[in-house]
Structure 1
Amino acid sequence: MQIRISSTILAAGIAVLAGAAAYAGPLQDRIDAGEPLRIGFSNIPIWGYPDENGDAKGFVNEITIGILKKMGHDTVEATVTDWGGLIPGLQANRYDMITGGLYILNSRCENITFSEPIAQSGDAFIVPVGNPKGIQTYQDILAAEALLAAGSGYNTVEAAKKEGLTDAMIMQVPGPTEMLAAVKAGRADAAGMTYFEAAHLADSDDSIDVTDPAALPDWTLNWVGVGFRDADSEFVAEFNTALADYIGSEEMMQTVAQYGYTKSTLPGDITTEWTCANR
């Protein structure tokens, strides 16, 4: 499969939006014209990121590309952007689909169409080693009058506010690199993110600990999908048909094992319709 990555990497290592020309019309028009399918994703460890060669990696990208290949689409152009630019970029026709660990949330379902779920995941906090403020839940942050770092556009911002945290108690930053820096510098007492991200950061930095995702309420368990424009519903239906055959297959599980994706990560019987209504 041909994959072209378009990205601009800052000195700090954060990938930001590269110029991708907008293309008017539905996704099928691009397919009929022989144009590459364009994936937008953010630089989020484990979920979706460019490797040292610029190739699209991460289990969400691997699954998406695997499904597209099964559908007969062999030419893919992947663009790295900031997290907050994913949905606006999709709506502006810069990409044909967006990946990188988007939880299927009601607030997002109002703006884009999701595929059926491809994974389930819980959240966790990174905290200074030893967890000096005893933070395991949002209620712990509230009781300690602590400061939470969260990625701009992350589900953890919504979750924190639902649990009673005020805007003043939430420091919104671009992504995991900035969240880690805020905790390490003492500018935040904890940072909320997916457990996959938290565990990845802790593996390479012994100055932080990861809280137990099971300590958070059941409603914080989320399901991951691939995002599309509403106008591309016919393509999404075809994508879902191929997804149903591919998800959990031996081929898929071998591909994503390197990212820690196991049978427990499979989405189960939960549908996007249910998730949009309940998350």
Structure 2
Amino acid sequence: MERMIKIFLSMGLVVVGLTAPAYTGDLADRVASGKTIRLGFASEPPQAYPGEGNKPLGYVNAIAEGVLRSMGYTNIEPVVTDWGGLIPGLQAGRLDLITGGMYINKKRCDNITFSEPVSKETDVFMVKTGNPEQITTYKDLVTKSATMVTGAGYAGIEIAKKLGVPASQIMEVPGGTEILAAVIAGRAAAGVTSYTVVQDIAKKSGGKVEATNPALMPEESSAWIGIGFRNSDKDFVAKFNTELKRYLGTPEMMKAAAEDGYDEKALPGDTTTEWVCAHR
């Protein structure tokens, strides 16, 4: 177990405290005054994670930075925090936009403004290789009285409860590294997070874990990822969305995101944020 954690730490997957000062003005005013655009993200590979000097890596960061550059903004300051600090940091004015595997859903839409979707995802189970406890659906968790583990604030918590998994069988941890640790140690029969995250972790786990079949997951597990902004920055978001529509799916964008596993199947299609906010 310690070896697995050391592997992740050696890859730069270290959470840094959010210490950026608060700012109460609109993002457009901040940019016009020459200040940086503070891009907040947690270490959630392959969607977002820090490189050397906290360089924003991951396919959602690549898309966000590509759109901002197309808008003429290059003065971007990365701020790494834990998952639970992203939305509070945005609302408190310590961040200007947040990325990573942030699923668009009604609860979040009530608190922040999302860009149009940048990717479509599906949650799956992370299980020990060979799936010894045969967990492939939420129903399996219920019938086997098995514990699942997922990230604090992840969408899978509400889906699990909706499908009958008792709260006593749901373990919440900070993020992917801790989900992996709980599954390997046997503290949980299965971890719940997005398919691309599980695939990425599985590749780095030395064959210890694998992803279950996403086709067996409920329709509610299909999700769309967006980039989050403060509600006061809707004008900026509208301009961001205009450029996002032009940029999404271009050869330039696909090349930038391909390094972290993004391909044509990950494109969000015609689904709008308005629809997702109403139906998720």
TM-score band by shorter chain is: over 0.9
Aligned to 1:99: 99
State how far apart, in whole Å, the 1-side matches of 2:34 and 2:54 are. 23
Q: Deviations over 1:112-165 (max 9, x none)?
A: 000000000111111112111111111111111000001001111111111111
Once the 2 structures are TM-superposed, how far is the Cα of residue 274 of structure 1 from its aligned partner? 0.2
Task: Show the 5 A alignment for 1:67-82.
Answer: 67-82=67-82
| Bigger mean CA deviation after superposition, 52-61 or 243-252 | 52-61
In structure 1, give the amino acid aligned to 2:49.
Y
TM-score (norm 1): 0.94
- The runs of 5 or more residues in structure 2 that have no matched partner are 1-7
TM-score (norm 2): 0.94
State how far apart, in whole Å, the 1-side matches of 2:168 and 2:16 are. 27
Aligned to 2:211: 210
State how far apart, in whole Å, the 2-side matches of 1:46 and 1:172 are. 21
Q: Deviations over 1:71-95 (max 9, x none)?
A: 0001000100000111001000010
State how far apart, in whole Å, the 1-side matches of 2:72 and 2:270 are. 26
Task: Show the 5 A alignment for 1:137-152.
Answer: 137-152=137-152
Indicate yes or no: 2:50 matched with 1:50: yes
Q: Deviations over 1:160-185 (max 9, x none)?
A: 11111111100000001111101111
Aligned to 1:125: 125
> Is the 2:13–2:43 contact (alpha carbons within 8 Å) kept by the matching residues of 1?
no
Go from structure 1 to structure 2 and tell me whether the alpha carbon gap of 1:180 and 1:10 turns closer, same or farther (over 3 Å shift). Answer: closer
Once the 2 structures are TM-superposed, how far is the Cα of residue 31 of structure 1 from its aligned partner? 1.2
In structure 2, give the amino acid aligned to 1:227.
G
Once the 2 structures are TM-superposed, how far is the Cα of residue 50 of structure 1 from its aligned partner? 0.5
Give SS of 1:122's match: strand
State how far apart, in whole Å, the 2-side matches of 1:182 and 1:228 are. 32
State how far apart, in whole Å, the 1-side matches of 2:133 and 2:240 are. 45
State how far apart, in whole Å, the 2-side matches of 1:10 and 1:59 are. 20
> Is the 1:10–1:16 contact (alpha carbons within 8 Å) kept by the matching residues of 2?
no
Aligned to 2:226: 225
Give SS of 1:222's match: strand
State how far apart, in whole Å, the 2-side matches of 1:174 and 1:181 are. 11
> Is the 1:31–1:37 contact (alpha carbons within 8 Å) kept by the matching residues of 2?
yes
Task: Show the 5 A alignment for 1:234-249.
Answer: 234-249=235-250
Indicate yes or no: 2:37 matched with 1:40: no
In structure 1, give the amino acid aligned to 2:157.
V
> Is the 1:113–1:227 contact (alpha carbons within 8 Å) kept by the matching residues of 2?
yes
- Measured on the aligned residues, the alpha-carbon RMSD in Å equals 1.5
| Bigger mean CA deviation after superposition, 183-192 or 16-25 | 16-25
Give SS of 1:259's match: coil
> Is the 2:117–2:268 contact (alpha carbons within 8 Å) kept by the matching residues of 1?
yes
Once the 2 structures are TM-superposed, how far is the Cα of residue 53 of structure 1 from its aligned partner? 4.4
In structure 2, give the amino acid aligned to 1:182.
A
> Is the 1:103–1:224 contact (alpha carbons within 8 Å) kept by the matching residues of 2?
yes
In structure 1, give the amino acid aligned to 2:127.
V
Same amino acid, percent of matched pairs: 48
Task: Show the 5 A alignment for 1:267-278.
Answer: 267-278=268-279
Once the 2 structures are TM-superposed, how far is the Cα of residue 209 of structure 1 from its aligned partner? 2.0
Aligned to 2:4: none
In structure 2, give the amino acid aligned to 1:39.
L
> Is the 2:54–2:79 contact (alpha carbons within 8 Å) kept by the matching residues of 1?
no
State how far apart, in whole Å, the 1-side matches of 2:14 and 2:62 are. 21
Aligned to 1:90: 90
Once the 2 structures are TM-superposed, how far is the Cα of residue 52 of structure 1 from its aligned partner? 3.6
Give SS of 2:54's match: coil
Aligned to 1:250: 251
Indicate yes or no: 2:196 matched with 1:190: no
State how far apart, in whole Å, the 1-side matches of 2:96 and 2:212 are. 36
In structure 2, give the amino acid aligned to 1:129.
T
Indicate yes or no: 2:178 matched with 1:178: yes
Once the 2 structures are TM-superposed, how far is the Cα of residue 54 of structure 1 from its aligned partner? 2.6
| Bigger mean CA deviation after superposition, 115-124 or 52-61 | 52-61
